[in-house]
Each structure stands twice: as structure tokens, then as C-alpha cells.
Structure 1
Amino acid sequence: MLFLASLPIPGTEIEEVKPARRPMLAIHSGDEENNCHVIDVRGLKCPLPVLKTAKGIAALPPGVRVVVLATDPMAAIDIPHFCSERGHRFLGRHDDEGVSRYEIETGG
């Protein structure tokens, strides 16, 4: 007796599905070239870029230059607003190949 359930059915192979790699917050202190802190939040979606930025600069003293690298278009609204609400100075934004670079000077 032959059981059909034991035969493979063409086109129904099971592939191993690996979980998507979640981007992690990367903070580089003392970038020698620019003497600043770099917070890399590329790949994160709103509201995570601004939340990770807030966490990354919370312990920094006033006057430290911070560069945030982000790919989320909403960061263009969120990061300047965050700066004005928290007393930081927003120095500007530069876009390059889908990555926005936000420059901040920490406040008191």
C-alpha cells in the first residue's frame, strides 16, 4: 500500500526562513576626522531614529557635536523638532545617496 502523504509534491519544498536582521544603534565616539559623536540609525523607521538619538546624546555635555545618520524620511521633521524641544542646536542636514546626515550641537 502506498501513502501519498509520504511523497514529496513538486514545488512545495520548505525553505528555511531567517529572521530579518534588525539594525542596531551604533554610536562612534570621537570621530577623529570631525571630532564628533556619530549615531547611526540607518534602517530604523519613525519614531526610532529620534528616540535612539535622544538616548545616544542624553549623557553628553553641552557643546558636543553629534552627527546622526538616518534613512527614514520622517527624521527630517522629527530631529529638528527634537532639537528645538530639548535645547539642542540643529546645525543642518545633508543628503547623500539615500542617507541623511543631521548635525547637532548638544545643549544644556
Structure 2
Amino acid sequence: MEDPPDDPSPAQPAQVVDARGHRCPVPTLRLRRALERAGSGDRVLLLADDPMARIDVPYFLSEAGHVLVNSGGQDGALSFLVEKQ
């Protein structure tokens, strides 16, 4: 018997922005560009490895009015799932 998924209907990101290897503010700028192209309600997944992204990304999202759905980090890699408002 298989374990049920944590979220039975996860919304897939419309776009993945891989900004690993870039220092802030580049990850935030790439996220902003992706959100400008996204439709309302679309989700964008940002991948980054600069520790400053933990501060810069949530601040940008609060200023821009978008929603941070989920964030995490493992082995120096950070991920931010964002929903455009």
C-alpha cells in the first residue's frame, strides 16, 4: 500500500527560475521578471543558493504583494514557491 501524498493536488509551478550560482539581488530580480510574465494565480518556483535570498525574497514578495506559498532549504540550496497575486 502506498503512502498518500502530503498534498493530494499540489499546484505545479508555471515556471521554474534557477538562480543557483548567482549572488543577490540576481535571484530576486529573476523572480520579479518571471512574475511579470506570469498570470494571476500562477506559481513560480525559485531555486537559489545565496543565503541572502532568505531575506531578500520574502521582503520583495511582501512589498510586491505576492504570496510565499512555501520555502525550504537543504544542503545550501534554497527553494521558494511563489504565487502571483
In the superposition, the TM-score normalised over structure 1's length comes to 0.65
User: Could you say what the CA RMSD is over the residues aligned between the two structures, in angstroms?
Assistant: 1.4
Amino acid paired to 2:60: F
Measured after TM superposition, the shift of residue 57 of structure 1 is 1.6
1:39 is the counterpart of 2:17: yes
Structure 2, gaps ≥5 residues long: 1-9
Taking every aligned residue pair, what percent have the same amino acid on both sides? 36
1:52 is the counterpart of 2:30: yes
Structure 1, gaps ≥5 residues long: 1-32
Amino acid paired to 2:47: L
**Paired residue for 1:64, among 42, 48, 53?**
42
Task: Write out per-residue CA displacement over residues 55-103 of structure 1, whole angstroms, 9 at most, x where no aligned residue.
Answer: 1221211111111000000100111111111110011211122100111
Amino acid paired to 1:105: E
Kindly tell me the number of residue pairs found equivalent between the two proteins: 75
Aligned residue number for residue 6 of structure 2:
none
Q: Greater relative contact order (Cα 8 A, min sep 6): structure 1 or 2? A: 2
Q: Whose helix fraction is larger, Structure 1's or Structure 2's?
A: 2
User: Does the residue aligned with 1:101 lie in a helix, a strand or coil?
Assistant: strand
Q: How does 1:7-18 map to 2 (within 5 A)?
A: none
In the superposition, the TM-score normalised over structure 2's length comes to 0.81
